[in-house]
A and B are shown apart, each in its own frame.
Chain A
Amino acid sequence: MNITEQDLILKVNIITLTGRLDVTSAPRLRDHAQAKLGAGYTHFILDLSQLEFLDSAGLAALVNLLKNARTQGGDVRLVMPQAEAASRTIYLTKFDRVFSLYEDVEQAKRY
């Protein structure tokens, strides 16, 4: 019998968003995420815990990142916003069926 083994080190990019993720700020997230994807990152944790507001344009930016990451074999995990105005949007639009949701970054890091 032969035993072979290898260690895998997963590079995860943690992006923390504060304030509002809306039609005004969403393009910045898109550009930032695109740059990270271009740099080879495929796994992301988006810390939305301090996000105050999230609209459909912001959700579209999140979905865009998710699709691009999954196309490259990666994934996006969300740390849920504490603000009700932002978390409510995620639940009402059923994005809880799209993203893996976590209470904090440490929980999201666990494989």
Chain B
Amino acid sequence: MTDPSGEIERLRNRVQQLEQELDDMTVALAQAWDQLAPLLQDTSQQQATTVTDLTPVLETVMAAIGVDYGAIYLKEMDECFIIPNDPLVGETLKQQLQTIPYTTEPIIIDQIRILQRYSSHWVFMPMLADGTLQGVIGVGVNSNQHRFNSYDMRVLARMTERATSQITAANLAQSRHREARLSHELQIAHQIQLSIQPLHFPTLTQITLAANWQPAQTVGGDAWGWIQQTNGNLTCFLLDVSGKGLPAALAAVSLHTALVMALTLDLNPVETLTIVNDQFYDAYTNAGIFATAVVIAIDPYTGMVEQANAGHPPTLACMDGAWYRWEATAPPIGVLPDLGVECQTYRLLPGDTFVCYSDGFSEIETPDGLWGDAGIVSVLSQALTHPPSMIQAVLQAAESLQQGRSPHDDQTIVIVHYAG
């Protein structure tokens, strides 16, 4: 008859021996993994833009730990990828991962029930880049006998770091690519906008015209132009599309083209603004924008002026030594289906001057409030016969008021002097 207590003692020693062997194997495996991991880090280190790009990482971690499932969930894209591909498990898992609170610690989910049939057991490692949670990588087993040990955690942590670095590299590359493309497109848009602003001014003995166009950003919603119509009139215009950036620039270019076309057909200022309003009303309504515009036709021989002003800041006219404001008679283009703009007629005498500008000047903020048209007039009292000098005076004053800061809005100014 065997001694029961001796047999128990022998078995206990055997268990301790086996546990010691298991610990030694775990340490050895961990050390082997430490040597393997850098190699894995160096090989096939590609940028990952989708969860499927991370498949090699997931397969490696599954093989290393020996599990039934592997899964990656990317938070921003709300994408979940699971190996083996099982839409039902994937969807159930995704619903869990969308709602659980994330920390920097591993997340253990003891039961994810699939159709009430079986449950799986999971451990997830958060993917943190610069303190921001990118998602999680996890492994799962069907057996509830499996317990994830320190070795499993170490493998999972290492591979999660690797996956995170791949995602970070991809995000950075994508961001740089987007920035470069956007910058390139903006430069093209700037060149297109620049090309529609007149490079030369009219060379008439009776009229001197000068102008300056300055977008607040690379592109802007302002534009100006002039044309000598076949009836002999010199006609200039200035437009300002609401908003900023590329959408405003695109609208400004198309409106500029439409105005030039209408004026080329010898339409008068009222006809011109009316026809472009008819043409652009629906498009502007859909886009939620509008454009102010002023068109002024001058007969060089008689000094007769016709203005049509749709919501644009008043033209400032110095006539016979006194300043007048030729205000808008209609709201901007794209606001009402029937523009209803009126023709304003004036007669310039030799020595008279008028100034058209965009609100980027009049809305410059000063310690005493907005600069306004009074502010513009205050710097124009000198050299009233020389538009280029007047332009410089306004630009210098504006720059001084802005104290070196970039303007908040596009700034365009057109000055016309009538010598008769």
Indicate, yes or no, whether A interacts with B: yes
What are the 10 tightest A-B residue pairs by CB atom distance, in nearest-first order?
A56-B242, A60-B242, A93-B311, A94-B331, A64-B288, A94-B328, A98-B331, A85-B370, A63-B335, A94-B330
In the complex the two chains form, is B243's CB within 8 Å of A60's CB?
A: yes
In the complex the two chains form, is A85's CB within 8 Å of B369's CB?
A: yes
In the complex the two chains form, is B359's CB within 8 Å of A55's CB?
A: yes
Most central of A23, A61, A93, A97 by chain B CB within 10 Å: A93
List chain B residues, Cβ under 8 A from A61. 288
Main secondary structure of the interface of A (DSSP, over half): helix
Q: Which of these, B289, B327, B329, B336, contacts A60 with CB under 8 Å? A: B289
Q: Is B290 an interface residue (CB 8 A)?
A: yes
Main secondary structure of the interface of B (DSSP, over half): loop
Give min CB distance, B123 to chain A, whole Å. Answer: 41
Most central of A57, A63, A64, A95 by chain B CB within 10 Å: A63
List chain B residues, Cβ under 8 A from A95. 311, 331, 335
List chain A residues, Cβ under 8 A from B327. 92
Contacts known (A85-B369, A92-B313); A59 close to B328, Cβ less than 8 A:
no
Q: Which of these, A64, A84, A85, A94, contacts B311 with CB under 8 Å? A: A94
List chain A residues, Cβ under 8 A from B369. 84-85
Mask, A53-90, CB within 8 Å of B = 1, is 00111011101100100000000000000001100000
Residues of A in contact with B (beta carbons under 8 Å apart): 23, 30, 55-57, 59-61, 63-64, 67, 84-85, 92-95, 97-98
Q: Bound state CA distance, A61 and B290, in angstroms?
A: 10
In the complex the two chains form, is A97's CB within 8 Å of B331's CB?
A: yes
In the complex the two chains form, is A98's CB within 8 Å of B335's CB?
A: yes
Q: Bound state CA distance, A92 and B313, in angstroms?
A: 6
In the complex the two chains form, is B336's CB within 8 Å of A98's CB?
A: yes
Which residue of chain A lies nearest to B325 when distances are taken between CB atoms in the complex?
A92
In the complex the two chains form, is B288's CB within 8 Å of A56's CB?
A: no
Give min CB distance, A40 to chain B, whole Å. Answer: 21
Most central of B314, B331, B359, B370 by chain A CB within 10 Å: B331
8 A Cβ contacts from B234-251 to A? 240, 242-244
Q: Is B91 an interface residue (CB 8 A)?
A: no
In the complex the two chains form, is A57's CB within 8 Å of B290's CB?
A: no
Mask, B198-214, CB within 8 Å of A = 1, is 00000000000000000
